[in-house]
């Protein structure tokens, strides 16, 4: 960068900070009201009281109604619900029986608690267990998984990017595994859940088990590192009952600001897995968006902001895909996706290879003296992905627990008692300012170049895993 270009960049950054400060002053009454508002907690209470909000379920339909009511109370215009079809997966039973030889040589069988992973087909498989550690491609390549049941952790080694469950499952099955066991890395007898694919039935049965169960399984698995003789390797039988049938989900849409041709999108998913209340994932996110919507409804915005609660995120970003397919994306200036904000104290902005989007978060952080950690690395596992892969700049707003992985998310423990609604209110205020800066006429948000985006995913070591999960775009080859 030349000295002149560097000076221009610094000038633009300073101007953005000034804009955010002026906007915060203009919105002081709305921001101040948000500071003490009990609506976020009441909305979150109503949402989590539903129970299951699984995509395509009656609970998800009821949740959409609560969101529409919240958008109306926030003052959004043109609030409406748009249904779309999906393959709706419904959980049945799951079992895991493990047979080992005792000291007397007699076989003994033990049954463990297990949860089917969404889009697992019905069926039963039997075979040896094989420990593939964290389930990274390198570890799977180091084990002979063919004809065996792969056992992989929910977490990832430090020092690299987080490897998603879908990548681990896809790579293990491609390598010949006949089944998959996903082991929680957190204590508490908490078997995890999480979809195996984006919106279609998977190729093999798969379950989640607790950390405590995983310790037993690894004791007798091939590659478990305990010096177990080959004759003593466990024989396991894994069974799942589940169904995938045609169903319906829906997006809930409202508008803040003028009805302009160009738009900014503010998104959060409101669905959740069926085994818990979905308070953290993503009850906090949709409560944050509904609260931010109330601030934006009072703002003098130069562009319209479409506020969208998307359905069916947990089973493949299906609501976001439906939204991206029906919109003219040339009219979408940028996307702010709230998936993970409101949970923990400090906001994190994932910029998905857009330096311009990153600079929005940096400007708001500087202007408000609130810490917002910015990470430019992209990933395909939240609702910004259908837009990013088509070149639309985006921010995903998350929050930092200090721990690696999902924490309570995707387990029975994702309940309302884990939530501090001060985080929801504070993050809502910051997100309102972020969205308003996205909409500023002075804010230039260049489109993402396809080749540069593909290179960014390759540099982040995503290609192998995304291909295994069938997520690598065909036009990136």
Give the pLDDT confidence of 193-208 residue by residue, as tens digits.
999 999 999 999 999 9
Average pLDDT over all residues of the chain: 94
Q: Which of 60-64, 159-163, 200-204, 287-291 has the lowest mean pLDDT?
A: 159-163
Q: What is the pLDDT of residues 128-141, one digit of tens each?
A: 999 999 999 999 99
Tell me the C-alpha distance between 342 and 188, whole Å.
24
3-class DSSP state of 206: strand
Secondary structure (3-state) at 311: coil
% of the chain with per-residue pLDDT over 70 = 96
Give the pLDDT confidence score for residue 231 in this predicted structure. Answer: 52
Count Cβ neighbours within 10 Å for each residue of 88-124 and write b for 16 or more, e otherwise.
bbbbeebbbbbebbeeeeeeeeeebbbbbbbbbbeee
Q: Using the predicted structure, report yes or no on whether residue 5 has a pLDDT greater than 70.
A: no
Check residues 103 and 238 and name the one with the higher pLDDT: 238
311 close to 269: Cβ distance less than 8 angstroms: yes
The span from the CA of 18 to the CA of 31, in Å, is 18
- 2 or 344: which carries more pLDDT confidence? 344
Q: What's the confidence (pLDDT) of residue 8?
A: 58
Q: Read off the tokens for 404.
A: 């690696």
Give the per-residue pLDDT at 2: 58
> d(Cα 205, Cα 454) in Å, to the nearest integer?
31
Query: Under DSSP, is residue 288 helix (H, G, I), strand (E, B) or coil?
Result: helix
**Cβ burial 230-251 (10 Å sphere, 16+ → b, else e):** eeebbbbbbbbbbebeebebbb
245: three-class secondary structure by DSSP: strand
- Smallest CA-to-CA distance from 201 within 157, 244, 169 is with 244
Q: pLDDT band for position 221 (50/70/90)? A: confident
The CATH number corresponding to 16-87+246-469 among 3.40.50.11900, 3.40.630.10, 3.90.320.10, 3.60.10.10 equals 3.40.630.10
Residues 6+ apart with CB under 8 A from 66: 43, 46, 47, 50
Give ranges for CATH 3.50.30.30 in the chain. 89-245
Sequence-distant (≥ 6) Cβ neighbours of residue 378 within 8 angstroms: 350, 352, 353, 388, 453, 456, 457, 460, 462
176: left (phi over 0), alpha (psi -120 to 50) or beta: left
pLDDT in tens, 360-415: 999 999 999 999 999 999 999 999 999 999 999 999 999 988 777 678 889 999 99
Higher-confidence position of 4 and 104: 104
The pLDDT tens digits of the residues spanning 151-172 come to 999 999 888 889 999 999 999 9
User: So what's the pLDDT on residue 477?
Assistant: 87
Q: Does 11 have pLDDT greater than 90?
A: no
Q: Residue holding tokens 């690598």?
A: 472
Interatomic CA distance for residues 289 and 43, integer angstroms: 11
- pLDDT-based confidence at residue 356 (cuts at 50, 70, 90): very high
Measured between alpha carbons, how far is 175 from 195 in angstroms, rounded to an integer? 20
Indicate the pLDDT class of residue 291, thresholds 50, 70 and 90. Answer: very high
Rounded alpha-carbon distances, angstroms, from residue 145 to 60, 223, 240: 38, 10, 20
Residue range(s) of every CATH 3.40.630.10 domain in the chain: 16-87+246-469
Tokens found for residue 285:
């996110």
- Give me the pLDDT at residue 234, please: 81
DSSP 232: G
Q: What angle do CA 358, 359, 360 make, to 5 degrees?
A: 90
342 SS3 class: coil
**Are 352 and 388 in contact, with CB atoms under 8 Å apart?**
yes
- What pLDDT sits at residue 103? 78
Q: Which residue has the tokens 């690696």?
A: 404
**254: pLDDT confidence band, cut at 50, 70 and 90?**
very high
pLDDT band for 1, please (50, 70, 90 cuts). Answer: low
Q: What is the pLDDT of residue 105?
A: 79
Q: How confident is the model at residue 209 (pLDDT cuts 50, 70, 90)?
A: very high
CB contact at 8 A, 178 and 153: no
DSSP helix/strand/coil, 322: helix
Q: Which residues pair with 250 in a beta bridge?
A: 83
Of 74-83, 93-102, 171-180, 438-447, the poorest mean pLDDT is in 93-102
What pLDDT is stored for residue 401 in this prediction? 80
Structure confidence at residue 12 (pLDDT): 86
- 435, 336 Cβ separation under 8 angstroms: yes
DSSP-derived 3-state class of residue 21? helix
The CATH code of the domain at 89-245 is: 3.50.30.30
Q: Identify the pLDDT of residue 417.
A: 96
3-class SS shares of the chain: helix, strand, coil, % to 5: 35, 25, 40
Reading the block at residue 235, the tokens are 């024989």
Average pLDDT estimate for 444-456: 96
Q: Pick the range with the lowest mean pLDDT from 23-27, 103-107, 112-116, 286-290.
A: 103-107
Residue 159 CA to its chain's centroid (Å): 21
Distance of CA 123 to the CA centre of its chain: 28
Contact 109, 127 (CB under 8 A): no
Q: How long is the chain?
A: 477
pLDDT of residue 379: 96
Phi, psi dihedral angles at 347 (to 5 degrees): -80, 145
Question: For residue 3, is pLDDT > 80?
Answer: no
């Amino acid at each position: 960068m030349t000295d002149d270009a560097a000076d221009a960049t610094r000038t633009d950054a300073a101007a953005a900070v000034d804009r955010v400060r002026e906007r915060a002053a203009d919105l002081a009454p709305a921001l101040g009201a948000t500071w003490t508002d009990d609506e976020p907690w009441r909305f979150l209470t109503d949402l989590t009281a539903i129970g299951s909000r699984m995509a395509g379920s009656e609970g998800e339909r009821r949740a959409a109604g609560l969101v529409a009511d919240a958008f109306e109370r926030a003052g959004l215009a043109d609030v409406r619900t748009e249904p779309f079809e999906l393959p709706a997966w419904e959980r049945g039973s799951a079992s895991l029986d493990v047979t080992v030889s005792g000291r007397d040589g007699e076989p003994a069988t033990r049954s463990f608690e297990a949860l089917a992973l969404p889009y697992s087909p019905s069926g039963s498989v039997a075979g040896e267990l094989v420990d593939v550690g964290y389930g990274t491609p390198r570890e799977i390549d180091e084990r002979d998984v063919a004809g065996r049941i792969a056992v992989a952790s929910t977490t990832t080694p430090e020092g690299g990017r987080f490897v998603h469950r879908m990548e681990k499952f896809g790579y293990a099955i491609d390598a010949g595994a006949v089944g998959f066991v996903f082991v929680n890395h957190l204590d508490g007898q908490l078997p995890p859940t999480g979809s195996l694919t984006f919106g279609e039935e998977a190729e093999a049965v798969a379950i989640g088990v607790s950390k405590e169960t995983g310790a037993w399984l690894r004791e007798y698995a091939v590659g478990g590192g305990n010096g177990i003789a080959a004759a003593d390797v466990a024989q396991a039988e894994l069974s799942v009952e589940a169904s995938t049938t045609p169903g319906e989900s829906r997006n809930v849409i409202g508008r803040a600001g003028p009805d302009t041709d160009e738009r900014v999108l503010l998104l959060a998913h409101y669905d959740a897995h069926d085994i818990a209340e979905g308070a953290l994932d993503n009850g906090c996110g949709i409560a944050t968006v509904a609260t931010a919507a109330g601030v934006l409804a009072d703002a003098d915005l130069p562009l319209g902001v479409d506020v969208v609660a998307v359905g069916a995120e947990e089973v493949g970003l299906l609501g976001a895909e439906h939204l991206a397919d029906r919109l003219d994306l040339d009219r979408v200036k940028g996307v702010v996706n709230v998936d993970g904000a409101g949970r923990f104290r400090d906001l994190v902005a994932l910029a998905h290879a857009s330096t311009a989007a990153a600079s929005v978060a940096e400007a708001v952080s500087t202007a408000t003296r609130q810490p917002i950690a910015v990470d430019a690395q992209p990933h395909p596992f939240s609702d910004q992905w259908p837009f990013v892969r088509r070149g639309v700049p985006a921010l995903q707003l998350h929050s930092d627990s200090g721990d690696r992985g999902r924490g309570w998310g995707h387990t029975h423990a994702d309940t309302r008692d884990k939530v501090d609604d001060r985080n929801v209110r504070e993050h809502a205020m910051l997100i309102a300012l972020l969205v308003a800066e996205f909409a500023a006429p002075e804010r230039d948000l260049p489109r993402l170049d396809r080749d540069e985006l593909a290179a960014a995913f390759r540099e982040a070591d995503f290609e192998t895993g995304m291909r295994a999960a069938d997520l690598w775009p065909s036009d990136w080859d």
